[in-house]
Amino acid sequence: MGLNMPARTVLFTTARKFDGKELRWITSGEYIQMSGRAGRRGKDERGIVVLVID
């Protein structure tokens, strides 16, 4: 079962994640999957993705 939770904007405060063992950079596939939640078809005209890099 899935959860329909559309988001117009996705904000990344970091490009790293803890995988249970260590802090690592997210893969391009993970970025595409998570940023793809911004702006759902039929609900939003466009989506916004913000990536904050320090």
pLDDT tens digit sequence for 1-54: 777 777 899 999 999 999 999 999 999 999 988 888 888 888 888 999 999 987
Q: What is the pLDDT of residue 23?
A: 95
Q: What is the pLDDT of residue 6?
A: 75
Distance, CA of 46 to CA of 1 (rounded, Å): 26
Q: Are residues 43 and 35 in contact, defined by beta-carbon separation less than 8 angstroms? A: no
> In the chain, how many H helices and how many E strands?
1, 4
Give the N- to C-terminal CA distance of the chain in Å, as an integer. 37
- The number of CA neighbours under 13 Å toward the Cβ of 44 is 13
Q: What is the pLDDT of residue 19?
A: 93
